[in-house]
Amino acid sequence: VEAFSDRVRAETYDTFTAESCSSLDAVVNLTGENVGASMRWNSDVMHEILESRVRVTTGLAKLVATSGERIRLLNASGIAIYGSQEDGDISVRDEDYAIQVDPQDFLANVSDKWETSATMLLPASRLVLLRIGIVLAPGAGALGKMELPFKLGLGGRQGSGQQCLSWISLGDCVRALVFILDHADVHGPVNLVSGFMPQLSFAQA
C-alpha cells in the first residue's frame, strides 16, 4: 500500500462492505489456511483448511452478488479438484474435464466445496475459478520446504517417482491474474499451471 500511495485502498475482510465493493471491477480472493503450514493434518487442521476457504468465499460472493452487474470475483481454487492420477498417467485434465470427486480425496473435496460456495451465489459470467497448481518461488512456500532436503543431499525420488506434479512459478501466476483482470470476458474455471512432470524429473531439474 505504501508503494502505491493513494492509488490503492486497503481493507480487511472484516471491514469490506457492499459499498466498498460497488466501485470495483473485480475482487481477487486467495484466502485460505496454508495447506503446508502444518506437518500433520489432524481433524482440527483439516477443518480449518476447509472452513477458512468456504467461510470467506461465501461472504465475498454475497457482497459481489449485491454490488452491481459488472464486478467479477476471481476466486482461488486448486488443481486438486481433478483428483489424483495414477503413476505414469500423463493425460491432460483441462477445464472441460468431467470432474468426479472421490469422497476419500480430502483436497479434491476441499476444492469442490470451495468452488461451490461461489458458484451457488454468482452467475458464471461474473466468476473466475482459479485452479492453481503448486506455486514455486525460490526460498518460499512449497519450493522453500523442498530445498532443504536437497541441500542436505537427501532429495530425490519419492516412491516410484512417476507421480505427476503440476506447478507454476509465482511470477507466471501473478501475470496470469493480471491478464484475467485485464480481460473482463474471461470467466469460469481457469487452470493456472505451467505444465506437469513426473516427480523424479522435477527432482532432477
Give, as one character, the DSSP assignment of residue 187: -
52 pLDDT higher than 90:
yes
pLDDT of residue 145: 62
pLDDT of residue 1: 41
C-alpha cell at 171: 511470477
CA distance 8 to 6: 5
169 pLDDT higher than 90:
no
Say whether 204 sits in a helix, a strand or coil.
Answer: helix
Ramachandran angles phi, psi of 164, nearest 5°:
-80, 135
163 pLDDT higher than 80:
no
pLDDT of residue 154: 57
199 pLDDT higher than 70:
no
CA distance 113 to 33: 15
pLDDT in tens, 115-160: 999 999 999 999 999 999 888 877 665 665 666 655 656 555 555 5
CA distance 40 to 30: 23
pLDDT of residue 139: 63
Give, as one character, the DSSP assignment of residue 73: E
pLDDT of residue 196: 67
Across the range 75-103, mean pLDDT stands at: 77
pTM (2 d.p.): 0.81
Give the burial string for 68-104 (b: 16+ CB within 10 Å, else e).
Answer: eeebbbbbbbbbbbbbeeeeeeeeebeeeeeeebeee
pLDDT in tens, 7-42: 666 667 787 888 888 788 889 999 898 887 767 889
Give, as one character, the DSSP assignment of residue 4: G
Calculate helix-pair angle for 106-119, 43-65, nearest 10 degrees.
Answer: 20
pLDDT of residue 2: 47
